[in-house]
Structure 1
Amino acid sequence: MGKPRLSKRIFRSKAFQHIVGYLVHKTLSFVCYSNKLDKDHQLQLEASEAHEPVIFAIWHGQHFLMPYVYPRHKRKNMVALVSKSKDAEFNAIVLNLAGYDVVRGSGGRIREATLKKGGVSAILELLGFLKTGKNVCVIADISKGEPRESGKGIVTLAKLSGRPIVPLAIATSRFKVIEGSWDKTTINLPFGKSCVRVGNPVFVPGDSSGEELDMLRKQVDAELNNVTREAYEVVGHSI
């Protein structure tokens, strides 16, 4: 097997990824702070504090401004789950630059049974962070899976940790949707209005059966869809 093409080697080099990650971080930070916040922004964020530590849930394609929702001094209390794929390296770099701890793994496909095999170090790390009082941020739906349908990973994490799932949505009045993407990826644009909405916490009892977990997973979907729709309505859009 021959060496990868030069362009691919450059793309995957750590130096290139850190440069691009830094530029993306600065761009997203600018977009976030150039949008006028909804007047209820602070109240929405404070609503989840009574339940901390929590597992924040957000949809794929709606997650780009998530690292900048909280002021920087509060981000030290946040941990984000990022895919192990090489393409997700940029996401990890951006999150680190924004002030988050990062755990690498596939959140959507976590199964409770896999823990018995000694695997899934990601969920074990997340459980450890939750135990120390840190909040965890997880993209609920599975990459390249069914959009806006959470995987079993997030409810499994809630069951094992005893911590609630809190749906989180961020919307800006100016954005561009990549229609050809599987998750309708939304690129937030500057110089508009922004809105953050936090949903009702979903608690997952430690003795939940498989059927109950599936019902609670659907409850997460409904809550997350509700807050996403509400956030867009506040900035003048319907989805």
Structure 2
Amino acid sequence: MRQIGKTILRSDGFQNVASAIVERWLRFTWTSNAEVDESDDPVVLDGHWPAIFALWHGQQLLSPYAAPENISFKSLVSRSADAEINARVIERTGHGVIRGSGGRSARAAAKKGAVGATKAICDALKDGYSIVMVADISKGKPRQAGEGIVRIARLSSRPIVPIAIATSRYHVLQNSWDKTTINLPFGKRCLKIGQPIYVATREEEPAMRQKVTEELDRVTRDAYRAVEGAK
């Protein structure tokens, strides 16, 4: 029975229906949350496009709706079957998808398509697309920027822009490794944008990983403080 259930959940028909429902729910959640005055305007990034937008795992569900209408985006999504609905949801928002992810070792990264994804991301940036990706590695240490994002920034010569999106009403999945946050409607929302981070050399990568981690932590704290204090 378990195998039958898995087959149904991963079927094309189920994935299409589920992604349509999820996308409508997320869009409704975005529009039903009023933006607070402390929310940042993407105009502050003029001169830094295209860019690599970094979020923490479990905090990225509303990111497609925060994108400026005049900027083209592609999002990095894992190649795993479990991430298929995520990919379809993003495509329904009008954004492109690149499949692949990093790993905690070179072998794991290769298995997950990291090399192909890195090339696809660099090509997309060269073509003028901005990229959305999570900074921490799936099932790795949460809230710690991985090597992949800073390597891509160096290879592409494009900046990493840490961002955070928070709503005043939300539910945290406490049993998930990344404490996934389910945003809820009828509250307040805030987008916080960090300082663009450029990576010039391989030697800079460890320091820039730490900088990305610290800046992502800061904007995430600021976003939640803004919505929690909103009237």
Whether TM exceeds 0.5 here: the answer is: yes
Q: Is the 8 A contact 1:56 1:136 kept in 2?
A: yes
Q: In structure 2, what is the equivalent of residue 190 of structure 1? A: 185
| 1:64-109 Cα distance to aligned partner (Å, 9 max, x none) | 11111125x336x001000000000011000000111000000466
Separation in 1, partners of 2:222, 2:114: 38
Report the residue type matching 2:221 in the other structure: R
Q: 2:60 aligns with which of 63, 81, 85?
A: 63
Report the residue type matching 1:74 in the other structure: N
Report the residue type matching 1:5 in the other structure: Q
Separation in 2, partners of 1:8, 1:176: 26
Separation in 2, partners of 1:109, 1:55: 21
Q: TM-score, normalised by structure 1?
A: 0.88
| 1:179-198 Cα distance to aligned partner (Å, 9 max, x none) | 11111111100000000000
Is there any run of 5+ residues in structure 1 with no aligned partner, and where? none
Report the residue type matching 2:21 in the other structure: L
SS, match of residue 197 in structure 1: strand
SS, match of residue 150 in structure 1: coil
Q: In structure 1, what is the equivalent of residue 86 of structure 2? A: 91
Separation in 1, partners of 2:137, 2:96: 21
Q: In structure 2, what is the equivalent of residue 26 of structure 1? A: 24
| 1:129-172 Cα distance to aligned partner (Å, 9 max, x none) | 10011101110001111110011000000010000100010000
Separation in 1, partners of 2:196, 2:189: 22
Identity percentage of aligned residues:
46
Residues 67, 12 of structure 1: CA spacing in aligned structure 2 closer, same or farther, 3 A cutoff?
same
For the aligned residues, what is the CA RMSD?
A: 2.1
Aligned residue pairs: how many?
A: 225
| 1:27-55 Cα distance to aligned partner (Å, 9 max, x none) | 000000000012354x5311123200100
In the TM superposition, residue 199 of structure 1 has moved relative to its aligned partner by 0.2
Q: In structure 1, what is the equivalent of residue 214 of structure 2? A: 222
Separation in 2, partners of 1:195, 1:107: 29
SS, match of residue 195 in structure 1: strand
Q: In structure 2, what is the equivalent of residue 74 of structure 1? A: 70
Separation in 1, partners of 2:3, 2:176: 26
Report the residue type matching 1:52 in the other structure: W
Q: 1:51 aligns with which of 45, 48, 53?
A: 48
Residues 108, 195 of structure 1: CA spacing in aligned structure 2 closer, same or farther, 3 A cutoff?
farther
Residues 21, 110 of structure 1: CA spacing in aligned structure 2 closer, same or farther, 3 A cutoff?
farther
Q: 1:208 aligns with which of 202, 209, 213?
A: 202
Residues 102, 109 of structure 1: CA spacing in aligned structure 2 closer, same or farther, 3 A cutoff?
farther
Separation in 2, partners of 1:190, 1:4: 33
Report which stretch shifted further, 175-184 or 185-194: 175-184
* 1:133 aligns to 2:131 (yes or no): no
Q: TM-score, normalised by structure 2?
A: 0.91
